[in-house]
Amino acid sequence: MSTVGTRSENSFGGDGAAAVPATPAARRAPALSFHPVYNDFYGFLESPFNLTPDPRFLFFSDKHREAFHHVLFGIRERKGFIQLTGEVGAGKTTVCRALLAELGEGYQTALILNPMVSGTQLLRSILTELGLEPPRTDRTAYLEVLNTFLLEQAEAGRDVVLLVDEAQDLTPELLEQVRLLSNLETDRRKLIQIVLIGQPELRDKLNARSLRQLRQRITVRYHLKPLDLDETERYISHRLLVAGADGRPKFSRGAVRAVHRYARGVPRLINAVCDKALLYGYVNATYELKSRAIRQAIRELEGAA
């Protein structure tokens, strides 16, 4: 997304402004690299609006903080099943990665990112993620290995947490299989905490009658909503700061409003439009990004520029 080549490869800069990037460093920028050409121009140490769910960039809006603490509480209090939903691009995976970093030593965690597999493959991935060697046999053997591991961990005082991202893609059969995993328990407690993370379709899926047993077991739920206007402004500033920005560029209030209107507070879209706006500033040799820059960035994103 943020890989942008030379000026001739994009349609920015048509308003007659500086044809050559303003700083010598920017002029030296390679024509094609994974390092956006504008980083040197603005003095960034890294790209502020990458599309990866990097927890180092996490901006704790009230919503993201609540999401984080709800899930953390559920895990720490051993609530069994926890559900985190949110719109596409709202920041669920980012929160989830930050949680993994927070849990640290006392927890064994398995993060499943691509659950569109068969039941047996899912179990295999869980074992692999937990650092276990899946036996060369069948599902029953997988379950035995998992059960033994869970008991060992419980004895050692460590909790095991399974996080299933993109859980909206799980078929009802797989969801049911995940529920069965939570039956692994001693007479005192559940041996595994399971966090289901997914888009709003996950909620609809869980409303199916056939999944009511699972639904009843989910005791902690959080739905991550998009950012409001003020949060969008702070989000942009935060990401610029983490990237090493030193007071520039400046997004005017009108620019932020235009970003918010377009992205409707969805962080992934905010990133996409801000990335293009930064390119616009670079091409036009300006650190002041106003609504015009955002309009142009949106046109570029929509492929209409």
Ligand X SMILES: Nc1ncnc2c1ncn2[C@@H]1O[C@H](COP(=O)(O)OP(=O)(O)OP(=O)(O)O)[C@@H](O)[C@H]1O
The Cα–Cα gap between 296 and 160 comes to 48
Of residues 53-92, those binding Mg ion (CB under 5 A): 92
Q: Minimum CB separation from ligand X for residue 210, in Å?
A: 25
The Cα–Cα gap between 32 and 104 comes to 38
Query: What tokens appear for 46 in the block?
Result: 């890294």
Of residues 186-205, those binding ligand X (CB under 6 A): 199
Residue type present at position 214: L
One of 85, 93, 232, 296 touching ligand X (CB under 6 A): 93
Of residues 2-21, those binding ligand X (CB under 6 A): none
Quote the DSSP letter at residue 8: G
Contact string (CB under 6 A) for ligand X, positions 26-65, x = contact:
------------------------xxxxx--xxx-x--x-
Q: Which residues contact 268 (CB under 8 A, 6 or more apart)?
A: 51, 88, 89, 90
Query: What tokens appear for 136 in the block?
Result: 């060369």
- Residue 219, phi then psi, degrees to nearest 5: -105, -15
CA 210 to chain centre: 30
One of 70, 92, 215, 260 touching ligand X (CB under 6 A): 92
Q: Does 80 participate in binding ligand X (rule CB under 6 A)?
A: no
Of residues 89-128, those binding Mg ion (CB under 5 A): 92-93
Closest to ligand X by CB, 238 or 299 = 238
Closest to ligand X by CB, 94 or 193 = 94
Residue type present at position 280: Y
Query: Which residues bind to ligand X, rule: CB under 6 A?
Result: 50-54, 57-59, 61, 64, 86, 88-94, 199, 267-268, 271
Query: Which residues bind to Mg ion, rule: CB under 5 A?
Result: 92-93
